[in-house]
Chains A and B, each alone.
Chain A
Amino acid sequence: MSKQPAIELKNITKTFGKVVANKNVNLTAYRGEILSILGENGSGKTTLMNMISGIYFPDEGQIFIDGKEALISSPKDAFDYKIGMIHQHFKLVDVFSAAENIVLGIEDKKYNLNNSTEEIKKISSQYGFELVPQKKIYTMSVSEKQTVEIIKVLYRGADILILDEPTAVLTPQETEKLFNVLRRMRDDGKCIIIITHKLHEVLSLSDRVSVLRKGEYIGTVNTAETNENELTEMMVGKKVDLNIQRNEPKNTEERLTVNSITCVDRVGATVLDNVSFTAKSGEILGIAGIAGSGQRELLESIAGLQRLEFGDIFYFDPKTNKKESLRDKTPMQIRQMGVRLSFVPEDRLGMGLVGNMDIVDNMMLRSYSKGHSFFLKRKSPKDLAMKIINDLEVVTPSASTPVRRLSGGNVQKVLVGREIAASPTVLMVAYPVRGLDINSSYMIYNLLNEQKEKGVAIIFVGEDLDVLLELCDRIMVIGSGKITGIVDARTTTKEEIGLLMTKTDDGKENNNG
């Protein structure tokens, strides 16, 4: 085992204004290994990798490639050093084929798509990719697009590959396929760096793990010699209990019934297709699915933000026991009907909150219009802001700090706090822990559980299947705007949900990748 260091980072520091994104980071990745960079959101993983791939330039420190110092000041330079980065958000031309996208921007070869196609096929078979080079990007699934991105950097001869959260958009089955490919590339002597915050993936895939915390390098351990708890402790800096509590639902009754709703988007494509389900009080209903399968449209339909083509939505008022239709109602009308519906949208600063306003003014969003006065009343929102800051331990200089200056976790606490303060009977949350550190995530889970105990009907759209399985009572799977199954979260498995996520009408799987 005489492994060659492929890339070495020495004392890398990068600051953005006052924010130190990376501080004296030292890191070594060898050829023929998979190195995981583990850290919570905001720990500086992506910043560090962006410096290797030429997007940022370090303030201090040096990067060595194969033992020689390298100055990487543009993505082109990175390619010259045979570094390839696969970003979380794909950068492909939709109307081009896979092969066209792969050769795009390569100057030194004569444009000959046939030769290139042959070479692409060779790379594919060598590592076990499944890809039709002639296929257009817009007809591809997310995992196929990712394959194109990976082959794109391999085609350019990259032997140091950096993957930024590659599994975030994949089903469990697709993830396993990707891991197999990565293992084959490792065995071929390539250096693979994968950025992630999912512990079980780290443990199943990588050879070594380097942990960052708040921009600082904490240490590197061999995967074989560690476990989830130790890694979490390195990541967070203290011991964390990783179990999510889940009580049996009590006194459930129908609260919200969605009855065969169909919605179309602006260009007329069907985004929700004949969706029906019931949310019950005192229960957490999880919604699983590949990103963009209609989750957002579903929640927005219920909130009165999406026009229904067909179908209806009914709310059962617990006070009056009346059944009321929410179809064709605006959010204001829904509120005036006495429906206590709270909604934590996916886009926190672009929809749930106003980034440039302070916490007090953001509290007012829900309540400002009450009463007939021409003027605003800031007294009660101010009290609410102080209460949320205290109860949920929001880290902020003051209640008059613009919320965009708060960290992701604190922004979410402000938003969830406000929505819960409206004492809802139905609470919808979309990706509530995305980008949050572990402590904040568990605080959000606890808040949801508290609401469940109070008899609130909770609809939880999530991406991490492990969390959905641990937290929810029932899980509804959505695929291409259709409900493909509703399962009991206590008895189902990740694999079952994964299959439902890609199931199509005729029962066949549509598992490309």
Chain B
Amino acid sequence: MAKLTETKHREPLFHVVKRDDMPEWKAWLIRVITILVGFLFVGILSMAVTQKSLGDTYSIMFTGVFGRLLEGSTTMLWKYLQEIVILLCLALALTPAFKMKFWNCGAEGQALMGGLASIFCMIQFGEKLPYITLIIVIAITSILAGAIWGVIPAIFKALFNTNETLFTLMMNYIATQIIAYYVYIEGGGSNVINPVPFGNFPVVGNNDYFVNIAIVAVITVFMFIYLKYSKQGYEISVVGESQNTARYIGINVKKVIIRTMLISGALCGVTGMLLVAGKDHTINTNLVGGQGFTAILMSWLGQFNPFIMVLMTAIVVFLRLGVAKVADTSLLNSSFSEIIVGIVILMLVACEFFIHYSIKFRHNKKEVKA
């Protein structure tokens, strides 16, 4: 009997234990190591697929991102920054909602609606309004369009406690179809809208993207201050942490949900404007290209801190562009780049697990005499 119970009752192979005590520097060390391992992994995998040496792979990645930067050409660098700010702007837009634990999965749709407002104004008023007025009209309508698209699920959440994740996701599909319809009408059946020459953001110092980059830089700083030092940011944190506490101290929870989603949607609308007026000057259903979803991860990996988000988006965009170049030179398609970026993001998420939990394996206990 004793034998039997002993074989039956064995300690499990490992326990997962939550830990709360890892010092900040150590957590960051783990993150940096993860990123380095991620890069190494990317290099080795690319090498295996493309049959090129590791050094070659990295140098192709570098040219894919920075181009001929070493020879003094900054064209690609600006392009890289442009890609960063679009993703960053979406991540910043989502952050206040996420901090409130409102899972806004509708950045894609909100940005599309912002973009639609921009292109609509550019086509309709482009020749009629003076340039400055036109830009202002574009800005206002885009922000409103994104805000409206974001606030609809918020109103339903606040009044009827609907599930915001499903609601915002569904709003994406509606937005996509509206764009498809608009393109069909405006493109005269060809399903393509030719670039509109009106209401484009100004070229500053020979640089197409400077305005976009400057706008997002301002938004980054604003968001940091808003979340950390404003009363509204404080209310967002309280509502996100505990709606009970919020009610207890007299915060109007419904109002905060609606107000925050107005801001979140508005910033998505801004991103749509940056994409249309500041970059593409046209629109199609693939305008945002899934970045609204990547932005969810960027906001999380940035721990809702705008400045960490800058770093995270820089890394992810670097990988995306770099590996795309590797794929390009080896006649692989863009899926390869997406696979690689996906794996590295997964590694970053996994490293957060090991920062917050530790695994204890079965151990041989010291014998104690009965």
Are A and B a genuine interacting pair, yes or no?
yes
A residues sitting closer than 8 Å to B (CB atoms) are 8, 10-11, 16-18, 57, 60-62, 64, 67-73, 77, 80, 303-305, 330-335, 343, 345, 347, 349-357, 361, 364-366, 368-369, 373-376, 405
CB interface residues, B 6-51, toward A, < 8 Å: 6, 8-12, 15, 17-21
Contact A376-B241, Cβ < 8 Å, known A10-B368, A345-B248, A352-B248: no
Contacts of B231 in A (CB 8 A): 368-369, 373-376
Known contacts A62-B368, A67-B370, A374-B230; decide if A350 and B245 are in contact (CB<8 Å).
yes
- Whole-angstrom CA separation of A73 from B10 in the bound complex: 7
- Of B18, B249, B365, most A-chain CB atoms within 10 Å: B249
Beyond A73-B12, A361-B234, 19 extra complex contacts between A and B, CB < 8 Å: A11-B368, A17-B20, A17-B21, A18-B21, A62-B365, A64-B370, A70-B9, A71-B6, A71-B11, A331-B247, A331-B249, A333-B250, A350-B242, A351-B242, A351-B248, A354-B242, A354-B245, A364-B234, A373-B231
B2 within 8 A of A: yes
Cβ of A16: which chain B residues have Cβ within 8 Å of it? 17-18
Cβ–Cβ contact B250 & A73, under 8 A:
no
* Mask: chain B, 227-269; 1 = CB below 8 Å from A; 0 = not: 0011111100110011011011111100000000000000000
Query: Assuming the A-B contacts A10-B368, A330-B250, A375-B231, are A347 and B244 also in contact, with contact meaning beta carbons closer than 8 angstroms in the complex?
Result: yes
Q: Tell me, in angstroms, the Cα distance from A64 to B233 when the chains sit together.
A: 56
**Bound Cα distance from A430 to B244, whole angstroms:** 16
Size category of the B interface is 35 or more
- Bound complex: CA A119 to CA B46 (Å): 70
How many A-B contacts if CB must be within 8 Å? Answer: 106
Main secondary structure of the interface of A (DSSP, over half): mixed
Nearest CB in chain B to that of A372: its residue: B231
Residues of B within 8 A of A355 (CB): 241-242
Complex: A349 Cα to B242 Cα, angstroms? 9
Q: Which of A17, A61, A62, A354 contacts B238 (CB 8 A)?
A: A354
B contact residues around A331 at 8 Å (CB): 247-250
Q: Which 10 pairs of residues, A with B, have the shortest CB-CB distance? A: A332-B250, A331-B250, A71-B9, A351-B244, A354-B241, A17-B19, A365-B249, A10-B368, A77-B9, A351-B248
Option from A10, A343, A351 in Cβ contact (under 8 Å) with B370: A10
Expressed in whole angstroms, the Cα–Cα distance for A334 and B247 within the complex equals 13
Task: Report the minimum CB–CB distance from A412 to chain B (whole Å).
Answer: 15
Enumerate chain B residues within 8 angstroms of A369, measured Cβ to Cβ.
231
Q: Is B206 an interface residue (CB 8 A)?
A: no
A357 proximity list for chain B (CB < 8 A): 237-238, 241
**A224→B301 CA distance, assembly (Å):** 61
Write out the residue numbers on chain B whose beta carbons fall within 8 Å of the beta carbon of A343. 248
A364 to B230, CA, bound (A): 12
Which A residues are CB-close (under 8 A) to B20? 17, 405
Judge whether B128 is part of the interface by a CB distance below 8 angstroms.
no
12 contacts between A and B (CB under 8 A): A61-B368, A71-B10, A77-B8, A77-B9, A80-B5, A350-B244, A355-B241, A365-B245, A369-B231, A374-B230, A374-B231, A376-B230
Determine the distance from Cα of A236 to Cα of B189 in the docked complex, in whole angstroms: 83
Task: Please name all residues of chain B whose beta carbon is closer than 8 Å to the beta carbon of A354 when the two chains form the complex.
Answer: 237-238, 241-242, 245
Tell me, in angstroms, the Cα distance from A64 to B365 when the chains sit together: 15
Instruction: Give B232's nearest chain A residue, CB to CB.
Output: A374
Inter-chain contacts of B15 with A (CB < 8 A): 57
